[in-house]
Amino acid sequence: MPDDLRGQLVVTPGSSVRLAEHDPAATFGYEKETAKAKVAADLERLASVQDRLWAERKRRVLIILQGIDASGKDGMIKHVMSAFHPLGCRLASFGVPSAVELAHDYLWRIHQAVPADGEIAIFNRSHYENVLVVRVHSLAPPAVWSQRYDQINAFERMLGEEGTTVLKFFLHIDRDEQLERLKARYDDPTKRWKFQLGDLEDRKRWDDYMAAYQDALSRCSTTHAPWYIVPANRKWFRDLAIGEIVADTLEELKPEYPARPDLPDDLLIE
């Protein structure tokens, strides 16, 4: 059996990430034929632990998904959320900020979407866009966005100290895989609506984006909010890796169904 994926995929705090050293097609000894059963088992674990988290209403969980266009964020959300009851799970997607959002600090809209007690929140993109898109497209000068790494770390530290478990996943695909997925998206009438001409413009900035991701991963992987680099060329391995890491992490919180000392053991219900 392959070793624990958390230890193999986590970005060690203080380390310097070079994405060229991480194989986006790696499977760490797992095989597609045998992965299905493990993925199903992890989904069952996720359903069980989420039910207890929601009942207990003491802890909060934030799952952040980042990745280049077509890296599989939507597919991953569909996979993970299939295990969760909608009452205790919320999804937030962060696109271009509105005029109201731009009138506030960049974390304002993020803070409004973080999970409440008992909830699991999943972010499709996140506050990291402010050191990724903002940087690559020169939407703010370096003097502005370069301060945000420390601000983000402080924000996530505060969330952790207030009872939120933060898990951050970078879905790592290579340039050839992105090309195939963009072509498939364009060619499929049921998926063409997702195709954006801007994706092709961003593709021209691939190296700039990889440099921005490397800095974000290096500077913002902490003990209270670690980054995981997930090889995502193979969708089945992406699902397996994130399912295992989330399930293992949440089980370690040991949520419990609340006791009801106010109810007698011999209550007669007719």
Answer whether residue 46 is part of any domain. yes
Answer whether residue 258 is part of any domain. no
Question: What's the structural domain count of the chain?
Answer: 1
Whole-angstrom Cα distance, residue 224 to residue 13? 10
Is pLDDT of 3 > 80? Answer: no
Considering the entire predicted model, what is its pTM?
0.96
Answer whether residue 268 is part of any domain. no
Closest alpha carbon to 245 in 63, 73, 81: 63
Answer whether residue 17 is part of any domain. yes
Q: In what order do the strands lie in the sheet with 227-231?
A: 89-93, 120-124, 60-67, 164-172, 227-231
> Residue 182: which domain range?
5-251
* Each residue's pLDDT tens digit, 164-196: 999 999 999 999 999 999 999 999 999 999 999
pLDDT band at 1 (very low <50, low <70, confident <90, very high): very low
Answer whether residue 257 is part of any domain. no
Res 268: pLDDT: 86
Answer whether residue 111 is part of any domain. yes
- The CATH number of the domain holding residue 49 is 3.40.50.300
C-beta of residue 133 within 8 angstroms of C-beta of residue 66: no
CA dihedral sign, ordered 176, 214, 241, 71 = negative
* Each residue's pLDDT tens digit, 28-83: 999 999 999 999 999 999 999 999 999 999 999 999 999 999 999 999 999 888 89
Answer whether residue 270 is part of any domain. no
Is pLDDT of 136 > 70? Answer: yes
Return the structure tokens found at 214.
Answer: 């490397």
Whole-angstrom Cα distance, residue 25 to residue 238? 10
Answer whether residue 261 is part of any domain. no
* Each residue's pLDDT tens digit, 157-166: 999 999 999 9
The per-residue pLDDT of the chain, averaged, comes to 96
